[in-house]
Amino acid sequence: MNEPSINEKPLSRDSISVVVCTYKRADKLPHCLNKLLAMNGADGLRWEIVCVDSNTTSESRQIIEEFARSSPIPIRYVFEPDPRLSLARNAGLRHASGDILAFTDDDCLVDPNWLVTIWKEFRADDSLAILAGRLELHNPDDLPICIRTFRDRIPIGPTSFFSLSGTSNMAFRRRVVDAIGGFDPEFGPGASLLAAEDSDFVYRALKVGLTAIYSPDVLIFHDHGRRTMAERRKVERAYVISRGAFYLKHILTWDSQVMRLAYWESNRLAKQVLLKPDPEEARVDAARLLGYLLKGAFLYLWVQTRRVAGGSSSNHELDLPVKSGRPAVHSR
């Protein structure tokens, strides 16, 4: 399927492609796009928007095409027939023209200086490969989840990537994809392993020696709409199960750093359950989380067994192969 755009010319070096993945949020998508198009510009900054529609309704395509017809900024429509978010991310990587790839989601509203701040960060530091930013609540009635509110500038390392990065507000140079490939299609919303496609991506980049930074000045507001404890528990369940799967994925490659992370978390939870004189409710919560970690590990094994039984390679859906690579010497 051909995707409409205003300008088919490749963007210049150091230009930015903003990738927005959308799935069943036609009501929120116009707000997201309006905020993107209202951002402040800067002399020399060239950019485009790539909207990836994950097999939703024709309404989403109609909205994107209407914006593309009237926008002074190039807007591309990309249709991804598989609803997995990781595959939508990879489709965005394939169709983006910029040297810098900035990701956000259809329920996110960018700060007016979001793009300019990203551009300045990468221009100021040639060694910077990945930039993650702050994620604040848009609506104070929503639960304080799915946000990242640190106010300090923090280097992202192999023990902090879970809490400091996420593709709802993240940008990286194209050379990161050249080095490590795309997002793992078995991780993330819509996939068997529910989440952590972005954490896995960032960790693989750190593993080959690339530099990542969290900057609070790279600001987005998350309009996620979750307000009940059931919704909170659903998010928590997805995050912890996917983390258990992530642990096993890298433990099976004899990754000692991930072995330590898995041990620290599982040991802490086990002690809460068995040893500490915590209230009964806290012990029950710890047991539940430990169970989610174990479920994630078993799910990962099940996914790999299914692939082998089907005679498929581990990256059979990707035009952008997932590369783990051997660790290089870190520059930090």
Would you kindly state where each structural domain of the chain is located, as residue ranges? 16-227, 230-309
Neighbours of 310 (CB within 10 A): 8
pLDDT at site 152: 98
* C-beta of residue 21 within 8 angstroms of C-beta of residue 106: yes
Residue that has been written with the tokens 């209407």 in this structure: 66
Give the pLDDT confidence of 67-124 residue by residue, as tens digits.
Answer: 999 999 999 999 999 999 999 999 999 999 999 999 999 999 999 999 999 999 999 9
Q: What secondary structure does DSSP assign to 11-77, as a single string?
A: PPTT-EEEEEEESS-TTTHHHHHHHHHTS---TT--EEEEEEE-S--HHHHHHHHHHHHH-SS-EEE
Whole-structure pTM over 0.85, yes or no? yes
Q: What is the mean pLDDT of the chain?
A: 90
pLDDT at site 331: 28
* Domain over 16-227 is classified CATH 3.90.550.10: yes
Q: Which residues of 172-185 are buried (b: 16+ CB within 10 A; e: fewer)?
A: bbbebbebbbbbbb
Give the pLDDT confidence of 212-258 residue by residue, as tens digits.
Answer: 999 999 999 999 999 999 999 999 999 999 999 999 999 999 999 99
Beta bridge partners of 17: 48, 101
pLDDT at site 308: 84
Rg for the chain (alpha carbons), in Å?
Answer: 20
Q: pLDDT at residue 271 above 80?
A: yes
Q: What secondary structure does DSSP assign to 20-32, as a single string?
A: EEESS-TTTHHHH
> Which of 220, 225, 223, 165 has its CA nearest to residue 36?
220
Beta bridge partners of 79: 53
Give the pLDDT confidence of 210-225 residue by residue, as tens digits.
Answer: 999 999 999 999 999 9
